């Protein structure tokens, strides 16, 4: 083959050249090369139309289609250039070097070292540069002995493997090296542990010396705190959630690359459902960078992904085994290869609304750069399965369509959900991504972004999820969440003065009420419940009917508990559609039991925080079965 392109190939697409003058030469050059590579004209025309619509390249659109494989395309390209083609590089190897990860983001060329000292250059040729490369090879024919053509996937795989030790170390230590105060790697700092120990010692001394007075004082303090937290949640009932649908931005094709990351572990059975949901997203495939992030020793899930023969927009990222084995560590490892200007996370069981990426992009486009993250709501679809799932669905509706919109509207810190949060990738990297030692990394990151001067918001199009259907699975999930919230609270309160200064007085108080109130209410609920039962029994029997203080405290406890149950149900019910509300199981009678289960998980989390602070309890998922 020669490097010249025929006039017929160039002239066959004159209408495009006249209409899109800015891309005329590139499109004509690509079309001519693809014809020289013996691809059929209808396939070239179809790829050209998509390239114009999506403002990409003809080559990119051709490779994104289902009829052309990367191996076939680059093999033909290598033959055209007169170069060897390879998808593996033995006996050559890639040595980790500074900035090597740029070749994951935009693969072009890498240097391979041989055992005998010789080297090769593995390249990804592009259609627009083919003519220049051909001229270079003609002028320097010796280069043909040192250059090999490969595929983007093969090059990226080599880069992932070569840099895995460096990347693993960075994923684990990036945050603590940058600012140890933000890391949960140390559960209690020395000063913090001393202060907590001193307060407990003082409390024990007061209980020994003045038991009745101390207990009453504690009762008053916690009742007041509980009530203030309840008032905050009740205020969320006045907020209207964002609309479920959002008008997409104009379809001018000028959309950025969007990275979608999904951390997977023992999820082989979810791959078909997950990939189907991700491919339904309304975003050009050539501008999707979907990373399925797996533990390298999770062979079953990796095999299921490879068996799916997924489109080119998918990439499998294997995380080398190392401690801690947590979702945030895996995501931080994969972040090195994120190509998108924006980035979102999903879980294995998620079915995001097709318009969710466009809604996030539209919101980001009209906001300042300080808006670093947008949280989409999570809707539970199996609330009719049992009373446990029904109350879980109400709880999610209250959080994602009530409390988070209230916090966002008030420019207060958002405890992000672990999925369906959309980031500006540069802001995520500036905040040093997720804490690999925090098992509720989402809430921690939302607070950290706020402390660093960023803001978080909400959007309307939801992600569908299923609640755990067994009590064991539900308890394990809640234990992990509570443990992470305890970690987040301890990290935030290491220096309360600095936290006050960074958040401001209002945000500081709301954080203490929202996060601290949730933890305190969960831990103390059975104690308050028991104390209320005892006091009511004593009052009924006439035990201290003349003691006004006890009667008042009992009335306050009763009001706190009843109102908290009512607000829990009403806030959730308010943010459900009438059809959803009718089908959900569970009600006021089951709420006390639900809260006692929450308390059990909270106490289990407190114990785990001491003995297994970084242990990740896996939540089992199953594909959705049609009704």
Instruction: State the pairing for strand pair 147-149/119-123.
Output: parallel
| For residue 224, pLDDT beyond 60 | yes
Q: What is the pLDDT of residues 151-162, one digit of tens each?
A: 999 999 999 999
What mean pLDDT do residues 560-579 have? 89
**Orientation angle between helical segments 41-54 and 24-36, nearest 10 degrees:** 150
DSSP character at residue 597: H
| For residue 6, pLDDT beyond 50 | no
With residue 111 as reference, give the H or E element that holds it: strand 109-113
Q: State the pLDDT at residue 20.
A: 43
Backbone dihedral region for residue 453 (phi beyond 0: left; psi -120 to 50: alpha; all else: beta): left
81-95, 188-202, 292-306, 604-618: the lowest-pLDDT one: 188-202
Q: State the pLDDT at residue 10.
A: 32
Q: State the pLDDT at residue 373.
A: 98
Q: Name the percent of the chain lying above pLDDT 90.
A: 67
Between CA 219 and CA 521 the distance in angstroms is 13
| For residue 17, pLDDT beyond 90 | no
What mean pLDDT do residues 410-417 have? 93
338 and 261 Cβ atoms separated by less than 8 Å: yes
Q: Which long-range contacts (CB under 8 A, 24 or more apart) does 304-310 make?
A: 304/268, 304/269, 304/271, 305/271, 308/271, 308/272, 308/275, 310/275
What mean pLDDT do residues 229-235 have? 83
Instruction: State the pairing for strand pair 351-352/378-380.
Output: unpaired
What mean pLDDT do residues 543-557 have? 72
**What is the pLDDT confidence band of residue 66, given thresholds at 50, 70 and 90?**
confident
DSSP character at residue 248: P
Instruction: State the pairing for strand pair 342-346/378-380.
Output: unpaired
Q: Which tokens go with 467?
A: 């609640």
| For residue 118, pLDDT beyond 90 | no
**What is the pLDDT confidence band of residue 361, given thresholds at 50, 70 and 90?**
very high
Q: Name the percent of the chain lying above pLDDT 70.
A: 93
What mean pLDDT do residues 536-547 have? 67
Helix (H, G, I), strand (E, B) or coil at 346: strand
Q: What is the pLDDT of residues 415-454, one digit of tens each?
A: 999 899 999 999 999 999 999 999 999 999 999 999 999 9
Q: State the pLDDT at residue 233.
A: 83
Q: State the pLDDT at residue 22.
A: 46
Q: State the pLDDT at residue 491.
A: 94
**What is the pLDDT confidence band of residue 547, given thresholds at 50, 70 and 90?**
low
**What is the pLDDT confidence band of residue 253, given thresholds at 50, 70 and 90?**
confident
Q: State the pLDDT at residue 544.
A: 55
Q: State the pLDDT at residue 543.
A: 59
Q: State the pLDDT at residue 384.
A: 94
Q: Which residues contact 557 (CB under 8 A, 6 or more apart)?
A: 223, 528, 531, 532, 535
Q: What is the pLDDT of residues 463-517, one digit of tens each?
A: 999 999 999 999 999 999 999 999 999 999 998 899 999 999 999 999 988 888 8
Q: Which residues contact 434 (CB under 8 A, 6 or more apart)?
A: 175, 328, 329, 331, 332, 441, 444, 445
Q: Which residue has the higher pLDDT, 362 or 114?
A: 362
| For residue 277, pLDDT beyond 90 | yes
Q: Across the chain, what does the average pLDDT equal?
A: 89
| For residue 199, pLDDT beyond 90 | no
Helix (H, G, I), strand (E, B) or coil at 447: helix
Q: State the pLDDT at residue 243.
A: 65
């Amino acid at each position: 083959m020669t490097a010249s392109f025929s006039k017929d190939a160039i002239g066959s697409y004159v209408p495009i050249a006249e209409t899109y003058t800015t891309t005329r030469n590139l499109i004509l050059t690509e079309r001519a090369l693809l014809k020289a590579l013996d691809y059929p004209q209808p396939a070239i025309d179809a790829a050209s139309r998509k390239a114009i619509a999506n403002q990409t390249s003809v080559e990119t659109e051709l490779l994104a289609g289902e009829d052309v494989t990367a191996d076939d395309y680059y093999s033909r390209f290598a033959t055209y250039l007169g170069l060897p083609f390879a998808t593996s590089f033995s006996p050559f190897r890639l040595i980790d070097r500074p900035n090597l990860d740029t070749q994951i983001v935009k693969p072009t060329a890498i240097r391979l070292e041989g055992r005998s000292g010789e080297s090769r250059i593995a390249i990804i040729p592009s259609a627009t540069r083919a003519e220049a490369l051909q001229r270079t090879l003609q002028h320097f024919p010796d280069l043909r002995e040192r250059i090999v053509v490969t595929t983007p996937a093969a090059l990226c795989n080599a880069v992932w493997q070569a840099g895995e030790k460096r990347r693993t170390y960075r994923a684990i230590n990036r945050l603590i090296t940058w600012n140890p105060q933000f890391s949960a790697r140390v559960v209690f700092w020395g000063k913090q542990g001393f202060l907590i120990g001193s307060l407990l010692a003082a409390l024990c001394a007061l209980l020994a010396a003045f038991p009745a007075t101390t207990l009453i004082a504690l009762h008053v303090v916690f009742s007041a705190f509980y009530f203030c937290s309840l008032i905050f949640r009740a205020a969320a009932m006045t907020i209207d959630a964002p609309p479920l649908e959002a008008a997409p931005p104009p379809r001018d094709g000028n959309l950025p690359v969007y990275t979608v990351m999904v951390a997977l572990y023992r999820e082989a059975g979810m791959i078909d459902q997950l990939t189907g949901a991700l491919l339904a997203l309304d975003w050009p495939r050539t501008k999707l960078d979907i990373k399925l992030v797996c533990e390298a020793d999770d062979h079953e899930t990796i095999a299921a992904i490879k068996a799916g023969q997924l489109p080119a927009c998918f990439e499998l990222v294997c995380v080398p085994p190392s401690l801690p084995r947590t979702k945030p560590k895996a995501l931080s490892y994969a972040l090195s290869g994120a190509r998108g200007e924006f980035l979102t996370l999903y879980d294995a069981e998620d079915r995001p609304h097709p318009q969710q990426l466009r809604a996030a992009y539209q919101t980001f486009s009209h906001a300042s750069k300080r808006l670093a993250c947008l949280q989409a709501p999570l809707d539970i679809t199996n609330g009719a399965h049992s009373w446990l799932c029904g109350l879980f669905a109400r709880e999610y509706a209250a959080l994602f369509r009530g409390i988070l919109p209230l916090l966002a509207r008030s420019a207060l810190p958002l405890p992000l959900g672990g999925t369906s949060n959309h980031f500006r990738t540069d802001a995520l990297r500036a905040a040093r991504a997720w804490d690999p030692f925090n098992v509720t990394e989402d809430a921690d990151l939302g607070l950290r972004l706020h402390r660093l001067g960023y803001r978080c918001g909400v959007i309307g199009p939801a992600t569908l999820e299923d609640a755990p259907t067994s009590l064991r699975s539900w308890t394990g999930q809640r234990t992990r969440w509570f443990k992470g919230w305890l970690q987040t609270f301890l990290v935030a309160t290491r220096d309360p003065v600095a936290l006050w200064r960074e958040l401001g007085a209002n945000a500081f108080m709301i954080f203490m009420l929202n996060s601290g109130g949730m933890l305190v209410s969960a831990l103390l609920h059975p104690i308050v419940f028991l104390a209320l039962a005892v006091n009511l029994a004593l009052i009924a029997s006439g035990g201290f009917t003349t003691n006004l203080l006890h009667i008042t405290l009992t009335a306050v406890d009763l009001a706190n508990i009843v109102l908290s149950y009512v607000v829990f149900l009403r806030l959730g019910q308010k943010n459900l559609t009438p059809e959803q509300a009718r089908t959900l199981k569970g009600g006021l009678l089951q709420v006390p039991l639900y809260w006692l289960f929450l308390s059990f998980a909270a106490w289990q989390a407190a114990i785990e925080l001491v003995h297994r602070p970084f242990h990740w309890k896996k939540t089992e998922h199953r594909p959705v079965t049609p009704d």
